[in-house]
Amino acid sequence: MRAFGPARAHAGTALRRFAEAVAAALLLAHGLSAAAPDAAPFLFTSIRNDGMQIFLGRPEGGEPLQLTRTAGGNDHPRWSPDARQVAFVSYRDGNPEIYLMEADGSNQRPLTRHPALDAGPAWSPDGRRIAFISTRSKLPQVWVMNADGGEPRALAPTPGEQAGVQWSPDGTRLAFLAVSNRKADVMVVQVDGSRLINLTAASKPSNSGVSWSPDGKRLVFTRFMGDTVSDIVTVAADGDDLVNLTNSKSFLNTQAHWSPDGRRIAFLSTRDHPEGTRANLFVMNADGSQPRNVAGEPEIENMGPAWSDDGRRLFYVAVPWGSSQILSVRSDGSDRQLLSRGKAFDLDPQPHFLRGRAPLQTAALQPPTEPTSTQAKGKP
């Protein structure tokens, strides 16, 4: 990184503070507060001056902690179940690999070294394994490896591509999408690759975005009825009792996620936008009743909802004015708070799940020492 003289550094700091003050004023005008005292620390991916990198947002406010700085970029950060480590995708070696680092960004090391493309890590609930998508069998398929690396194995090969792998809450099954003949089906399989079930084989529409209910009995996903119409649908984990929760006729509903207590579902919908082209964050009861726009601004596109572990707040991305920022809001739509600011593209918020532990203290964390790039390619 280039060194600048004191005068230029001071001018840059003053300009940044002025921009932040303007941003805060705009947000206050839209009913937002500029700090989130009850929010958890959160990981996110940001496209800034040095490309696509991973940051740790501080709930107490202030500048986020940049965890990665390598050329090529890094994305898709995911907390380990004990919140001590982060799995992520790194492009520092010329193609995407699964990497691991400590929660403060230190000790970055590869879990995969393969000429194929490896992406989309998902931790098992016990933290012992990581599922991911790999092209090492030519088409993208789900693979599983130990969380410390080792030889990965293909989970349940199917004729087409696979995507969007999610562990069941008890860690005994995985759900994913299998694409064949221009249709994506929702699949469930045992962790050893046995008992592969196609939950949507009997229906014609394509599907996306699978998420488990907290009790592991049902899954929620998006069903596409056309280019501009989609619904939020749930189904039992054995394929029975498929229920359409939104029954839309003229708008999109996508990216559904169950609340930690299983009583609500967050999702994105274009129903409040006059032209039906921008999605807002909604929350509805798990039976589809009482949908409510909790973001409150139909003209501003929303993306990527994620629940806090107590179910009180939702983290999401707002895309106004040629950039994107991360916000949080209470599940009833009150107390919207800005969590990232500046002219950057901040994406994919991943809140820190406490699960009864003390919160991760971010105030004293310092940027990690810049890691070196990994060298040789080979297995795993």
Question: Is 93 found in the same domain as 10?
Answer: no
Q: What percent of the chain has pLDDT over 90?
A: 63
pLDDT of residue 296: 84
Closest CA to 380 of 190, 154, 106, 175: 154
325 vs 46: CA distance, rounded Å: 9
210 vs 18, residue with greater confidence: 210
Question: Does 101 map to a domain?
Answer: yes
Question: Is 129 found in the same domain as 10?
Answer: no
pLDDT of residue 254: 94
Phi and psi dihedrals of 17, rounded to 5?
A: -65, -40
229 vs 212: CA distance, rounded Å: 23
Inter-residue contact 138 to 127 (CB < 8 Å): no
Query: pLDDT by residue (tens digit) across 23-70?
Result: 443 344 444 444 444 557 899 999 987 789 999 998 766 789 999 999
Dihedral of alpha carbons 201, 205, 208, 213, sign: negative
pLDDT at residue 12 above 90?
A: no
Question: Is 71 found in the same domain as 12?
Answer: no
Domain that holds residue 63: 31-351
Please tell me whether the peptide bond between 152 and the residue prior to it is cis, using omega within 30 degrees of 0: no
Q: What is the mean pLDDT of residues 85-113?
A: 96
Inter-residue contact 254 to 279 (CB < 8 Å): yes
Residue with tokens 């090969």, as numbered in its chain? 157
Question: Is 296 found in the same domain as 323?
Answer: yes
pLDDT of residue 354: 57
Query: pLDDT by residue (tens digit) across 247-280?
Result: 988 889 999 999 999 999 999 999 888 776 789 9
Question: Does 301 map to a domain?
Answer: yes
pLDDT of residue 38: 52
Please report, as a single letter, which amino acid is at residue 118: D
pLDDT at residue 21 above 80?
A: no
Closest CA to 118 of 151, 100, 158, 91: 91
Q: How far is CA 167 from the centre of its chain?
A: 14
Q: What is the pTM of this model?
A: 0.84
Inter-residue contact 40 to 308 (CB < 8 Å): yes
pLDDT at residue 292 above 50?
A: yes
pLDDT at residue 199 above 80?
A: yes
Question: Is 13 found in the same domain as 36?
Answer: no
**Helix, strand counts (H, E) of the chain:** 1, 28
CATH code of 54's domain: 2.120.10.30
372 vs 182: CA distance, rounded Å: 41
Inter-residue contact 305 to 326 (CB < 8 Å): no
Give the total number of structural domains in the chain: 2
pLDDT band at 362 (very low <50, low <70, confident <90, very high): low
Secondary structure (H, E, C), 106-169: CCCEECCCCCCCEEEEEECCCCCEEEEEECCCCCCEEEEEECCEEEEEECCCCCCEEEEEEECC
Question: Does 369 map to a domain?
Answer: no
pLDDT of residue 353: 67
Question: Does 364 map to a domain?
Answer: no
Question: Does 356 map to a domain?
Answer: no
Question: Is 333 found in the same domain as 280?
Answer: yes
Please report, as a single letter, which amino acid is at residue 263: R
Question: Is 108 found in the same domain as 7?
Answer: no
pLDDT of residue 8: 33
Q: What is the mean pLDDT of residues 160-167?
A: 95
* CA dihedral of residues 44, 46, 51, 52 (deg, nearest 10): 40
Question: Is 159 found in the same domain as 19?
Answer: no
Question: Is 168 found in the same domain as 308?
Answer: yes
Inter-residue contact 36 to 64 (CB < 8 Å): no
Q: What is the mean pLDDT of residues 96-120?
A: 96
Query: pLDDT by residue (tens digit) across 302-320?
Result: 998 999 988 999 999 999 7
Question: Is 264 found in the same domain as 208?
Answer: yes
Q: What is the mean pLDDT of residues 101-127?
A: 96
Question: Is 101 found in the same domain as 22?
Answer: no
263 vs 10, residue with greater confidence: 263
pLDDT at residue 1 above 50?
A: no
297 vs 274: CA distance, rounded Å: 12
Average pLDDT, the chain: 84
Question: Is 49 found in the same domain as 13?
Answer: no
Q: What percent of the chain has pLDDT over 70?
A: 81
Question: Does 358 map to a domain?
Answer: no
For residue 16, what is the enclosing H or E element? helix 6-29
Question: Does 104 map to a domain?
Answer: yes
Q: What is the mean pLDDT of residues 215-236?
A: 93
pLDDT of residue 82: 92
111 vs 86: CA distance, rounded Å: 12
Q: What is the mean pLDDT of residues 241-251?
A: 92
pLDDT of residue 377: 45
Please report, as a single letter, which amino acid is at residue 41: P
86 vs 117: CA distance, rounded Å: 19
Question: Does 373 map to a domain?
Answer: no
